[in-house]
Structure 1
């Protein structure tokens, strides 16, 4: 998910202001699998729906662009960046028939060209997003320092992490809502990677493990070659 990829913007989006800010990347998990098993039309609809949702949630921010199934947002205030990112992640990850979401946030300066941004801070945010697991919001140390005390957020130190193509390790923190109840493990279709409702899903087992599927098609694909969809 490299920064600077050709983007999609809506006419009328304002040019982002210059200066120090938080850069947020949010990416749908398993989007390639979803596209392969449910087709281009649904995949495109979900990518655009994520962009629309991000525009709504990040109300104090500038929506920079979409990059396939990911979005990039510039937020002037570090606190707002974390608050809005957690809200977006919470909303997306709770939606049935949607993939889960990963999010990365980095804070610093960036070079502006037109309405796009480039540089180390942007790259760091993109790599944090790629490193995150489903449902995680990961931030770098400058973002954590810029937020300071925030009574609504719990911070879990992740230590130094080596991220792809970055010369130096990055100190990572995971942000979660302090008010949030422990998240139930979502039912995820192992084939298309969408969250599904166990009450209406197709239930099956494989080597004693309970599995749920969104459709007969995904069920059949799994049982034809389960090794393609399970971890060894």
Structure 2
């Protein structure tokens, strides 16, 4: 049966108890509509809830919500279980089906990281495929080591880079620092490994048919704008990391392909 995730924004002054009660109401009538509510996420400050549901179709899910409590989803997207697990890695479910991380409520916010090797095509052209393969292998070792150390989850290998997800924005920044410091400490060669990193932050359903669609696109564009050895982050990542002993250098608002308005970017000062 298909799996869907929906979003209920604008819940105002709703408390965790209110959302838990709405979930219980869903469970009470789910069999009538052939659906099964699996878990939910709730972000207190933003007043947003996300439901994960097995359902034969979108209409059955929506009708179940309507009858149970009347809180209609703003948007519903179909998700693949493996992709969901990769993006939401670290999330567990308590006895009330609420998603948690390390025993604490999980808001569903994730930091999304894109990495890319600078100049990999030139290495392949000038030095051959073997040198390019070695560069990719070195990149993979460094990045995957940082993901393991800082709790990141690899979502996809892109050929010359990796797409990853982090429960914590701060941990994503720490992982990027580890990556840059590791590559900076390597001996200089003709095919020096230089990694570009872009980090954004967002929620699973964001006006896109894809899970974390807007955040993934933004992280990819930020990464493309970065230079080798540079990590750039979006404004929300910078704001959420304040007070975590990270240092940033403002880059101003930058025009990025696919985004109508300039995007404020910050460089992680990993040499500090």
Same fold (TM over 0.5): yes
* Deviation digits for residues 91-150 of structure 1 (CA, Å, limit 9, x no counterpart): 1233233231111100112359xxx95511111111111101221110001111111212
Q: Is 1:21 equivalent to 2:110 in the alignment?
A: yes
Structure 2, unmatched stretches of 5+, are 1-84, 90-107
How far residue 168 of structure 1 moved from its aligned partner, in angstroms, is 1.9
Q: Which residue of 1 aligns with 2:122?
A: 33
Residue of structure 1 equivalent to 2:170:
79
* Whole-angstrom distance in 1 between the partners of 2:113 and 2:211: 12
Deviation per residue, 1:25-79 (Å, 9 max, x gap): 1111111100101111221232133123211112211011211211111111000
Q: 1:165 aligns with which of 241, 255, 258?
A: 258
More helix, by proportion: 2
Whether 1:46 aligns to 2:117 is: no
User: What is the rounded CA distance, in whole Å, between the counterparts of 1:139 and 1:124 in structure 2?
Assistant: 10
CA contact (8 A) 1:110 1:120 kept: no
Partner of 2:52: none
C-alpha RMSD of matched pairs (Å): 2.1
**TM-score (ref. length: structure 2):** 0.55
Which structure 1 residue ranges, 5 or more long, are not aligned? 1-13, 182-232
Alignment partners' CA distance in 1, 2:175 and 2:219: 15
Normalized against structure 1, the TM-score is what?
A: 0.64
Q: 1:123 aligns with which of 197, 202, 217?
A: 217
Aligned counterparts, 1:95-106, within 5 A: 95=186, 96-97=188-189, 98-106=192-200
Which residue in the other structure is 1:175 paired with? 268
Q: How many residues align?
A: 162
Distance 1:40 1:159 in 2: 38
Distance 1:66 1:44 in 2: 14
> 1:175-207 CA deviation, whole Å, 9 max, x = no partner?
113xx36xxxxxxxxxxxxxxxxxxxxxxxxxx
Residue equivalent to 1:193: none
Paired with 1:99 and 1:45, the residues of 2 have a C-alpha distance of: 10
